[in-house]
Amino acid sequence: MALSNTIKVPTFTTIFHTSTTHPLPNTLFPLPSLRSCACKAIFNTTQLSSHLAQKSNNRLQPHSVDFQLSSLTALSPLDGRYWGKVKELTPFMSEYGLIFYRVLVEIKWLLKMSQIPEITEVPSFSEDAKSYLQSLIDDFSVNDALEIKEIEKVTNHDVKAVEYFLKQKCQSNAEVAKVLEFFHFACTSEDINNLAHALMLKEAMGSVMFPVMDKLIEALCKLAKDNAHVPMLSRTHGQPASPTTLGKEIAIFAVRLSRERKDLTQVEILGKFAGAVGNYNAHVVAYPDVNWPHIAEEFVKSLGLSFNPYVAQIETHDYMAKLFHSLIQFNNILLDFDRDVWGYISLGYFKQITKAGEIGSSTMPHKVNPIDFENSEGNLGVANGGLSHLSMKLPISRWQRDLTDSTVLRNMGVGIGHSLLAYKSTLQGIGKLQVNEARLSEDLNQCWEVLAEPIQTVMRRYGVPEPYEKLKELTRGRAVTKERIREFIERLDIPEAAKQNLLKLTPGTYVGTAVELARTVENAVNR
């Protein structure tokens, strides 16, 4: 998914402004003294309300100050508490990222026009001019983005601010200065924005999200193979069922996630570049001899995107809906895994490796809470809520254009950021898991009734009448022990070899092909 070497994502450093802290007082405000008598407490409610009002400003609330943005004052926890875990998305999914890709598209479009023979007003650039323009991309910095934001305060238009910034920057280059008015030539803002958003998604997924998804799938494959042989009691409808192995149950999630990972990579990231309403109206008037649809397709593809020829003012966002729906499904599968592992921890099938100094519960010292899986589950819910709105809203736009998508698109990083946070939480949780084979074995040994299934199946093979009913009478609502099962088998009128095979069965060996399925999970994932 990475772009060609012609597009370089700059190193990104974030600087937070700090502000003076105002700790809350150590003590709560004193209540007015209350009179009491034998029958009831009596107090003046007016006096109490007045006292509360006087004290509330400096006792119950932070001091009234002009807060500056920092990790403590950020409204979003992604930009505050969880910043360290999601900051690698910043070069792509932030306001900075959007501005950077706008700059990139504007410059690449000017370079493209210099290659169109019919546009004689923009002659081919020298290598020095090309290098200068490329340096504006390669060396783009936070200060450049801040400069564009200052211009936007005057223009009140974010894309126009980028155009003016580039014109200012290029005045010092004599060759480029001659064609400044060809920045943003025949473009509507959405020509620039839709390509910027597409590149943001493409690079965020390729550089950040896919590698973490792959780590998740790899971790699950390893967990599955390491525990391929460990028998485990299944539970269907919460009740004891035919045994499986721990590894095979983990393998299911590895394969499911790998399918969604593959589907995500197959979503075509689309771009348009067809002017105000998708018809190249202004282009054709200015240069009627240019094959503009062909030029637009070449340009969009040169950015590593697929071309969408049928659009209004905006790219229709259908690919975004598909991408976000696939991401939601990946998240749903991972949420299913989180809940299953949470349950296995609750049953004692897994212990959690602890670190010195960590607190599991603030009041119960013995507890080690499965917080990583709970954090993952919570963040997957937040992510899917945002991604669901994006996928449902973005394909809908009134007539040729409305602006409802503009503000919504600025929230792409929220759903993707919470997804990334969840993936890392699950990975952290997996790293703490320690299988408790003794507990798994204990559960199996208490459930000999699960052998009713193979026994009645063999009885069917050899024509024993009413096999299901006989096993139902033996097992349902009764304590079933190893001895009762063996006694039942001994009385069966079936071939001796079949009887001996049944007598060898235990809940721990009755696992079918689970071991092999778990051991070969990587074949299925790679396929």
Q: Which residues of 27-37 are buried (b: 16+ CB within 10 A; e: fewer)?
A: eeeeeeeeeee
Strands 350-352 and 306-307: unpaired
The DSSP 8-state label assigned to residue 358 in this structure reads -
Residue 394: left (phi > 0), alpha (psi -120 to 50), or beta? alpha
Contact in structure between 221 and 248 (CB atoms under 8 Å) = no
pLDDT for position 369:
84
Tokens of 16: 């937070």
Interhelix angle 496-504/482-490, nearest 10 degrees: 180
Contact between 490 and 499 under an 8 Å Cβ cutoff? The reply is yes
The Cα-based distances of 112 to 123, 247, 319, 508 in angstroms read 11, 54, 25, 68
Mode of pairing for the β-strands spanning 270-271 and 433-435: unpaired
Angle at 114 between CA 108 and CA 117, to 5 degrees: 135
Measured CA distances, 175 to 23, 112, 131, 137, 200 (Å): 58, 16, 12, 18, 30
* Domain ranges for the chain: 89-185, 204-357+367-437, 442-510
Q: Can you point out the beta strands (E) in 140-206?
A: none
Tell me the CA distances in angstroms from 225 to 39, 248, 443, one per residue in order: 72, 8, 22
Report the run of H or E that residue 53 belongs to, with start and end: helix 45-59
182: left (phi over 0), alpha (psi -120 to 50) or beta: alpha
Phi, psi of 343 (to 5 degrees): -65, -40
Please give the structure tokens belonging to residue 392: 């449902």
CA 13 to chain centre: 23
**Using CA atoms, how far apart are residues 470 and 472, in angstroms rounded to an integer?**
5
Counting beta carbons within 10 angstroms of the beta carbon of residue 93, is it exposed (0 to 12), middle (13 to 18) or buried (19 or more)? Answer: buried
Bridging pattern class, strands 41-42 and 35-36: antiparallel
The pLDDT value recorded for residue 222 is 97
* Token digits of residue 504: 């060898």
CB hemisphere CA count around 49 (13 angstroms): 3
The pTM is what?
0.86
Closest CA to 303 of 114, 165, 107, 129: 107
In whole angstroms, give the CA distance from residue 372 to residue 356.
17
Distance in angstroms (rounded) separating the CA atoms of residues 182 and 125? 13
C-alpha gyration radius of the chain: 32
The total number of residues written for the chain in this structure? 527
Choose the catalytic residue: 237, 294, 362, 366: 237
User: Which CATH superfamily is 89-185 part of?
Assistant: Fumarase/aspartase (N-terminal domain) (1.10.275.10)
Phi and psi, residue 242, nearest 5°: -50, 135
Q: For the chain, report the end-to-end CA distance as a whole number of angstroms.
A: 19
- The Cα–Cα gap between 382 and 176 comes to 47
Tally Cβ neighbours within 10 Å of residue 228.
Answer: 21
* Beta-carbon-side half-sphere exposure of residue 473 (alpha carbons within 13 Å): 6
Structure tokens of 371? Answer: 């917080």
The CB-based long-range contact list for 205-208 (8 Å cut-off, 24+ gap) reads: 205/1, 205/264, 205/323, 206/1, 206/2, 207/1, 207/2, 207/9, 207/88, 207/92, 208/88, 208/89, 208/92, 208/420
* pLDDT at site 171: 96
The structure tokens 């504007």 sit at 106
Q: Which residues of the chain have pLDDT under 70?
A: 1-65, 355-367
192 membership: H or E segment, kind and range: helix 189-204
> What is the predicted pLDDT for the residue at 270?
98
The answer for residues whose C-beta is within 8 angstroms of residue 324's C-beta and 6 or more apart is 387, 388, 390, 391, 415
Alpha carbons 340 and 373: distance in angstroms, whole number: 10
Token pair 């809350």 in the structure block, residue = 24
Residue 411 to residue 320: CA distance in whole angstroms:
13
- Whether 442-510 and 89-185 are alike in CATH topology: the answer is no
CATH homologous superfamily for 442-510? Fumarase/aspartase (C-terminal domain) (1.10.40.30)
Helices 95-113, 158-170: inter-axial angle, 10-degree rounding? 60
The yes-or-no answer on residue 361 being catalytic is yes
Cα four-point dihedral sign 102, 105, 109, 111: positive
Task: Say whether 237 is catalytic.
Answer: yes
The domain 204-357+367-437 having CATH identifier 1.20.200.10: the answer here is yes
The Cα–Cα gap between 296 and 273 comes to 6
